[in-house]
Structure 1
């Protein structure tokens, strides 16, 4: 049985971990709403003082970079799970699963436009873009997605369409099922499917139906 001394020794570490997580959570919400949110505002949202932040991070930049690292790791992990023999289904799956981490997307979208984080975010998200580019190239090659645009350009347009829906749905608090479906419809539309084809694909593909919340 642990001694009182052991318990007391562990408590500060547990509190520190909880405070650090509270800061990251508060910073994620604050910076997604306002990429210029101050350290004081973030600390206040976490229920902590500005001074206490320095027990976890050297400053605002270090805190933001910790969020960027956490967010991009999550998105890259999501992208790595996407696979399907049919390229349009895989592209829709990617959009759906990004909806599942929409808060990370909103944060990183803001950071991607804010100096000095632009290049850092772009580099960190390279695996997501590479995965999408591979899916698009495969679809162009087998004729399942449009081939009237260069694959690299098409992949970029699909990314922008997904991002636009994710950000708008996040801002307007779109219901989960509606937001997820909207992302899939948007990316499939840019990929070359008509709105009827896209809807039918979503409704008749078990992997995509399973993505819909019960």
Structure 2
């Protein structure tokens, strides 16, 4: 392989990564962002985008897959023994991926991608369910709701916060974490006390 060929491949990978990042940002701001809008955000022409993706739908699927892979990896890494801290850490770390989280939330609301979204995020959902079950068994989380229902409510709460809160806000991560803890059964004072012991969860 010549250095020129290697350089071209490197540029192509960089362009593709740039397109995916631009698409995530664009879709997070506008779920119906056009291919032209995405191309402009990436600093490329529409034709250049077509050089990497057959159409907008393929690009959206790749954005979803990329984001889901990040989310699922984060879920695997969260292993706090205290289920309350585990849920807070999961919410906090997912929020760090704000653009991808918001893009995934927007895609999830599109009927055309419901099945894909569900399949792509299955590992994350299983992790939330496992944390909830463990937390209910230990008495750390509320037990007035079945574990599957509570896990789904936690997921939906996170999605609602993503959709309603400005990701650029300095308090956005704190709002997301506290909302999840509230649905999980903690009072606002209990959540505040827990987060005071783990300040990194809101940093």
Aligned to 1:211: 201
Instruction: Supply the distance in 1 between the matched residues of 2:101 and 2:62 (Cα, whole angstroms).
Output: 15
Given candidates 172, 187, 193, the residue that maps to 1:200 is 193
Residue deviations 1:90-112 (CA, integer Å, cap 9, x gap)? 11111111111121110001101
Larger-gyration structure (1/2): 1
Contact 2:128 2:151 in 1 (8 A): yes
Residue deviations 1:9-31 (CA, integer Å, cap 9, x gap)? 22222221222122112111111
Aligned to 1:66: 62
RMSD value, Cα: 1.7
SS of residue paired to 1:58: coil
- Matched residue pairs, number? 203
Q: CA deviation at 1:145?
A: 1.0
Residue deviations 1:101-124 (CA, integer Å, cap 9, x gap)? 121110001101113211101111
Residue deviations 1:56-113 (CA, integer Å, cap 9, x gap)? 1111111111111100000101111111221111111111111111211100011011
Instruction: Supply the distance in 2 between the matched residues of 1:9 and 1:192 (Cα, whole angstroms).
Output: 57
Aligned to 2:174: 181
Instruction: Supply the distance in 2 between the matched residues of 1:174 and 1:143 (Cα, whole angstroms).
Output: 33
Gaps of 5+ in 2: none
Asked if residue 168 in structure 1 is aligned to residue 164 in structure 2, the reply is yes
Asked if residue 119 in structure 1 is aligned to residue 115 in structure 2, the reply is yes
Instruction: Supply the distance in 1 between the matched residues of 2:167 and 2:108 (Cα, whole angstroms).
Output: 21
Instruction: Supply the distance in 1 between the matched residues of 2:44 and 2:52 (Cα, whole angstroms).
Output: 12
Length-normalised TM-score, structure 1: 0.88
Q: CA deviation at 1:172?
A: 5.6
Given candidates 66, 82, 97, the residue that maps to 2:93 is 97
Structure 1 stretch displaced more, 133-142 or 157-166: 157-166
Contact 2:88 2:201 in 1 (8 A): no
SS of residue paired to 1:61: helix
Instruction: Supply the distance in 2 between the matched residues of 1:84 and 1:152 (Cα, whole angstroms).
Output: 20
Aligned to 1:106: 102
Contact 2:141 2:184 in 1 (8 A): yes
Contact 2:108 2:117 in 1 (8 A): yes
SS of residue paired to 2:104: helix
Structure 1 stretch displaced more, 53-62 or 67-76: 53-62
